[in-house]
């Protein structure tokens, strides 16, 4: 009997302990869930605040003429700018040209092979025309010195190194981009001309 009573007491105690532990674990899980919910809600609030601030900032930009922002930034911080001017050199079928643009797209200078007293087929002689145009540009465009420049090359092909080396001697070139806009029909062979067979008269 004593053993049976002791067993019943021990089982009752174990059940009570188990219930207490189960309740404490449930409470901890509930607290964790509540904490996770609060963190999620706080993150949502921060995200919404950031969106609202960005929308207000864009509205202010629209009011203050966002097109003229580049000129304001130049006056404030010239050092933080990546590029101040763009030099565009392009080889055309009958001419060689140089454009100097600012970041707004306004043309500051324009020279062609004709402005270096070249005429006719001399304009398409690339080595002579490019070297003369670069020397003329360095003489005239003194504002390009000590300012970061982006160099855009159109259909230059293997004259790229020559142009870059000449410009880098006096100017600070930060970005170089080359564009090949000439048409390319792939690796297709040219059409073979048919031989005209003529009848021999006896």
pLDDT per position as a tens digit, 61-99? 777 655 555 554 444 444 445 888 999 999 888 888 999
Indicate if 172 and 80 belong to the same structural domain: yes
Domain CATH code at residue 175: 3.30.420.80
Residue 91 in domain: yes
Integer Cα distance of 151 and 108 in angstroms:
15
Residue 163 in domain: yes
Q: What pLDDT, on a 0 to 100 scale, did the predictor assign at position 185?
A: 64
**Which of 22-31, 63-72, 118-127, 139-148 shows the lowest per-residue confidence on average (mean pLDDT)?**
63-72
Indicate if 136 and 90 belong to the same structural domain: yes
Tokens 């070297």: give the residue: 131
Residue 34 in domain: yes
Indicate if 162 and 117 belong to the same structural domain: yes
Tell me the residue range of the domain where 151 lies: 75-179
Whether residue 15 has pLDDT greater than 70 = no
Indicate if 86 and 167 belong to the same structural domain: yes
Neighbours of 116 (CB within 10 A): 18
Indicate if 82 and 144 belong to the same structural domain: yes
Q: pLDDT band for 100, please (50, 70, 90 cuts).
A: very high
Integer Cα distance of 137 and 134 in angstroms:
5
Look at the chain and report how many structural domains it folds into: 2
Residue 116 in domain: yes
Indicate if 126 and 155 belong to the same structural domain: yes
At 81 the three-state DSSP class reads coil
Residue 193 in domain: no
Indicate if 92 and 117 belong to the same structural domain: yes
pLDDT per position as a tens digit, 40-55? 778 877 878 888 888 8
Residue 70 in domain: no
Neighbours of 167 (CB within 10 A): 20
């Amino acid at each position: 009997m004593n053993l049976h009573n002791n067993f019943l007491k021990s089982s009752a105690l174990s059940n009570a302990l188990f219930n207490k532990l189960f309740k404490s674990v449930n409470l901890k899980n509930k607290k964790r869930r509540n904490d996770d919910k609060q963190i999620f809600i706080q993150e949502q609030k921060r995200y919404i605040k950031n969106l609202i601030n960005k929308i207000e900032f864009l509205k202010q930009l629209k009011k203050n003429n966002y097109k003229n922002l580049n000129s304001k930034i130049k006056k404030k911080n010239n050092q933080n700018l990546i590029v101040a001017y763009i030099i565009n050199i392009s080889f055309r079928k009958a001419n060689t040209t140089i454009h100097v643009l600012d970041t707004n797209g306004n043309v500051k200078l324009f020279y062609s092979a004709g402005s270096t007293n070249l005429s006719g087929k001399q304009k398409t002689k690339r080595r002579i025309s490019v070297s003369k145009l670069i020397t003329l540009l360095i003489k005239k465009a003194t504002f390009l010195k000590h300012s970061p420049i982006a160099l855009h090359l159109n259909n230059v092909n293997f004259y790229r190194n020559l142009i870059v080396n000449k410009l880098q001697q006096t100017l600070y070139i930060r970005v170089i981009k080359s564009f090949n806009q000439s048409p390319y029909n792939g690796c297709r062979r040219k059409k073979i001309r048919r031989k005209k067979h003529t009848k021999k008269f006896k």
